[in-house]
Amino acid sequence: MSSASSTADEYRRFRRQRLLHRLGRWRKLWQIFYRSKFGKAGFWILVVFAVITLLSPILTFHNPNTFFAPEEDTTIASQELSTQLPYSVNANGTPLAPAGTSVVVAGSYVLYTTTANGSVSAVALGGSASTPVGKVFPLLSENFPKDAHTFAATSIPLASYAIFSTKFVFQYSEFLLLGSTWGGTTHLVLSEINWTGQDNTPGAGAPKAVNTASVTISGTLVTAPTSDSTGGISLPPWGPFYESAAYTDYGFKPGYVYAVTESGGQYRMTAFYTQPFQPIWNVTLPYSTVPSAPVFVGSYYPPPSDLTATQVIIAQNQSLFSYAPATGKQLWESNFSAPIDTALAPVVPFAYEIGPSSADAAFVALTGPSPSVAYALLTNGQTAAVTPLPAPVVGIGTEEGSGGYPAYIAISTATTTYVLDERGEIASPQNAVGRPVGFGLFGYSPIYDADANLFILTSSTGNSIAVSANLGPDAIQWRAYESPAATAASSPLFFLNTESGKTAVAVTTNTGRLDAFATAGTDENPIGPTFNAPSGNFYIFGTNTYGNDVWSQWIQSFVWDWEIGLAVTGGVILIAVLVAMFIGYISSWVATAVETVTLVLFLIPGLALLIVIASILGASFWNIVLVLTIVGWPYFAFTLIGVVRQVKARTFVEASKASGARTMQILRRHMLPNMTPLLAYFTALSVGAAATILSTLQFLGVAPLTISTWGGMLEPMFGNYYLLVRAPFWVWPPTIALTMFVFAFVFVSRGLDEVVNPRIRAR
């Protein structure tokens, strides 16, 4: 027992000494490697890369492939107009809204601005040579007294009956309607806009006001005067005629103007012909509370509906009243359960102005302890569909309603805008959008753009956002903020800009600016680095052209480039070692055939072979690993074959054969150890080479993987080198990472050279 125990102890001591010897040898080799400047640099670069790879789940803020930056972060409103007006548009502390309408298909050539003293000017949009952007054309100068309360001029299209009666063509002209009040009287001005160019063509020459008419009535004007003509982006036929003779002689719909005045606590609505500009009837409203502005229904009804179905509606107290446009006769009265907010005129979708339908309705906001929105049918005033809201309503906007009940109804409170579903209900929290940070309070009715299916929401300070009509996640499409910031802004104007051919919204501000933004936003991808994106996201390296987060892709590329590099290296080294041992040690016709095949693969141009095989196999992780492995192993195999043949000729190998050692034993004990220094060197080179070749394939678009790699990040640069200048924040991170990754392994291989080659070490 003592002899056996002693033998076991000696064996354990031997194993321990052998382990210590090996550790000492490895320590010495490490010291040699670490003394190499190249080896040390490569080692620490790889340590940094390894740490980033391990921390990648924490450092990746978005899914690199499925995350796309919200449109509110990457889309901006194209500014159509930004001009500092040479005069103030403020009246009683509030900017007067701009005006404009499209009397021609091309759109508006100018916008109209109003001052408190009754001056109206046209501001050019740049749609023609004579209307350069921002040029101001004075039109009206009424010189109202200082105590006058002036309302913003409105632009109304009216058809020429003289032209229609001779040529049977609807030719619209643009008219300005201006209202002001002082000293207990109301003053209205109506003026036609002509152009000094040939044939009075809009946009030719300069705009000028002609055929100006005015009328004065007793009473204080309480709302802006309105008309039976509804301006818009495009004008259907059968709009109101300018001349009243169209009605008195032939029964066609004439142009009407409506004004609401107050005198002695009573409110009256007065109707006027537009030509001659004179009152034709008035009605006393039943309540002593301030009414809403009148709204005409049926601006483009064709005969005979233009006279039998048209109506003018007005809200007061808890009621909505309908009157016959020609006589002022009350048609119906609709009563609601709560007072109507008369600061908001009843809302009638635009399609209801073109042709009557039994489903047509007017929408109103109700006040009181439980704010809500309700509507009344325009055929008989029947009320329906009361939608409760958590806060008072500041604006209502609808889709055009061409299919009957509007597909989208947007309702704004001061802080939130809701979109109702087809049942008139707020279906879910996703049917609401809150005001962005720094936006200000919602102050006006949403504007619907049918082409883009957007609602434009404007704050009381002039900032605007566009939201998708169906809302849902990432509802905000773009933002436009006033610069310099304003403290008050007018209600927005929706118009078609002749200069750009785009629909746009315009506001005036208390700082004297007139700004307009296209409703269709412009994609700004790639955007630069930001830590304060409008959505609350942050993009350390910005986004690429698709809206992906460059930082997240960059971090995930550490993982995948490591994995592909190591997988390819493992396959290449394994195949190279096996083939080299087989060809170099075993002499047979099979070995010769394998060597010939290896030589053929070695001589084929590598890039061409890569592209062909990658195209055949398709792009996937393992296919790319297989492709790179197939192309990479011949070079290493030929180098190792020489080592095997050298070692095979050595005396100790012959001695092993003579002693009866088997082939596998010789390969394991003699061949493999002599390959080890080269294998370490090849491993270091192969990982970096695999990442480089993969990047080349992805840059050329041959290997469109669904994983993030540095080469894949650079692929959009191929054929679009302008991105190198425009988006350096996108280009440089993967370029630097790939370069450092490759250099790290080159440095490591140089350090390993000094370990296995004393002659290099001595230098």
Q: What is the pLDDT of residues 252-304, one digit of tens each?
A: 889 999 999 999 999 999 999 999 999 999 999 999 999 999 999 999 998 88
Residue 762 has pLDDT above 60, yes or no: no
Residue 591 has pLDDT above 70, yes or no: no
Q: Which residues face 94 on adjacent strands?
A: 91
Residue 189 has pLDDT above 90, yes or no: yes
Looking up tokens 């109301």 gives 186
170 or 218: which carries more pLDDT confidence? 218
- Provide φ and ψ at 436, rounded to 5°: -70, 165
Q: CA end-to-end span of the chain, whole Å?
A: 57
Residue 761 has pLDDT above 70, yes or no: no
Mean pLDDT of the region 47-61: 91
236 or 653: which carries more pLDDT confidence? 236
Residue 679: its pLDDT value, please?
77
Pairing of strands 503-508, 513-518: antiparallel
Give the CA distances from residue 264 to residues 109, 184, 219, 268, 284, in Å, rounded to whole numbers and listed in that order.
Answer: 43, 10, 9, 11, 12
Residue 600 has pLDDT above 70, yes or no: no
714 or 11: which carries more pLDDT confidence? 714
- pTM for this one? 0.78
Query: Looking at 356-365, 475-484, 512-521, which range is the least confident one?
Result: 475-484
Residue 423 has pLDDT above 70, yes or no: no
Give residue 724's Cα distance to chain centre: 23
Residue 619: its pLDDT value, please?
65
Residue 425 has pLDDT above 90, yes or no: no
Q: What percent of the chain has a predicted confidence (pLDDT) above 70? A: 91
Looking up tokens 């080659």 gives 757
415 or 650: which carries more pLDDT confidence? 415
Class of residue 486 by CB neighbours under 10 A (exposed 0-12, middle 13-18, buried 19+): buried
Cα(340)–Cα(347) distance, integer angstroms: 12
Length of the chain in residues, anyone?
763
Residue 30 has pLDDT above 90, yes or no: no
CA torsion sign for 552, 555, 561, 567 is: negative
Cα(51)–Cα(49) distance, integer angstroms: 6
Answer for the pair 745, 687: CB distance below 8 angstroms, yes or no. Answer: yes
Residues 393-406, buried b or exposed e (16+ Cβ, 10 A)? bbbbbbbbbeeebb
Question: Sorting pLDDT into bands at 50, 70 and 90, what band is 595?
Answer: low
Residue 625 has pLDDT above 60, yes or no: yes
Pairing of strands 476-480, 493-496: unpaired
- DSSP H or E run through 539: none
Question: Which range has highest mean pLDDT (55-59, 318-322, 534-538)?
Answer: 318-322
Residue 24: its pLDDT value, please?
77
- DSSP H or E run through 693: helix 672-699
Residue 126 has pLDDT above 70, yes or no: yes
The secondary structure of 262-308 as a DSSP string is: EETTEEEEEEEEETTEEEEEEEE-S-SS-----EEE-TTPPTTHHHH
Question: Sorting pLDDT into bands at 50, 70 and 90, what band is 87?
Answer: very high
- Look over the chain and give the mean of its residue pLDDT values, rounded to a whole number: 85
Mean pLDDT of the region 298-323: 91
Cα(285)–Cα(631) distance, integer angstroms: 90
Residue 227: its pLDDT value, please?
95
